[in-house]
Amino acid sequence: SDSNLCETAIFLKFGTTTLVLDMVEKGWGNRLPTLGPEAKYYEALQEFAKDSSLTATILVGGKPCTMPDIQQKCLDVAKDFCKIYGTNPEQELTLSRWTEIIELSQSPRPHEALRHHLDWAAKKYMVEQDLEKRGITLRNSPDTPVLRERRGKTREISLFGHLYDLDWNYHLLDPRGLWQKLDRQDFFERIADEEEISKAMFDPIPKTTRACARTEEIRYALAHAHELELRDGLNWTASAI
């Protein structure tokens, strides 16, 4: 399984981090919003993580800010930075998608607006749809019985257990995964098309990374398996022939 499956979420995770690191390297780090020297970062993250309405606030520079507010402050600095230092196509796409996600997060029901882009939003939307069919809401007791049918048999499970299974099954990488099923229905926004993905799998760029070197080594070993005697096989650090 994987925690992030939506392409938009994965792309923005790396794209925004790269932009922030670029800004820090150029001495722009002090222009980014900070919580102050006495801030409790862990508690702030917890506060945001449990708030799917995106209305929870923490103090930033002495003023209450929501998570979208903080993201907007970071985005504004990033745009100013890019006006001076320029952008490449990936950075332009990062700024565009970043802007779109912040705008959608202002919706009264942000998880519905963001469900095609971010995993947490897609999961909450999926859970609400599932429970609505059963006449249950998230306000019900965790012990509320839920009837589920699998392989022609009906069994009873607690609401907590049912939600746990939905959460787990969403992230499965095999075809049974709930994300995989939704993706086959074109539910999610795509950043890369299948041709780009296939090319990246067989013609990785850059070619100077350890991952690329391991890939080439494994390909060679598989292509010449009849000629080679792999004593200890291949692992992350070495191969024994």
| 58 exposure class (CB count in 10 Å sphere: 0-12, 13-18, 19+) | buried
User: Per DSSP, what are the bridge partners of residue 59?
Assistant: 64
pLDDT band, very low/low/confident/very high, at 20 (cuts 50, 70, 90): very high
| 237 vs 162 pLDDT, higher one | 162
- C-alpha pair distances (Å), 88 with each of 8, 85, 170, 232: 18, 10, 34, 44
Percentage of the chain beyond pLDDT 70 is 90
Tens digits of residue pLDDT in 26-49? 999 999 988 766 667 788 888 898
| 114 vs 45 pLDDT, higher one | 114
| 1 vs 96 pLDDT, higher one | 96
Mean pLDDT of the residues in the chain: 88
Q: Is the pLDDT of residue 237 over 70?
A: no
| 214 exposure class (CB count in 10 Å sphere: 0-12, 13-18, 19+) | middle
Its pTM stands at: 0.82
Residues 6+ apart with CB under 8 A from 229: 241
| 151 vs 2 pLDDT, higher one | 151
> Look-up: residue for tokens 């929501």?
66
Tens digits of residue pLDDT in 184-232? 999 999 998 888 888 877 776 677 787 788 778 777 777 776 666 655 5
pLDDT band, very low/low/confident/very high, at 1 (cuts 50, 70, 90): very low
Tens digits of residue pLDDT in 57-84? 988 878 889 999 999 999 999 999 999 9
Tens digits of residue pLDDT in 160-190? 999 999 999 999 988 989 999 999 999 999 9
Q: Is the pLDDT of residue 56 over 90?
A: yes
Percentage of the chain beyond pLDDT 90 is 61
- C-alpha torsion 178→189→99→74, nearest 10: 40
Taking alpha carbons only, the member of 50, 51, 94, 55 closest to residue 74 is 94
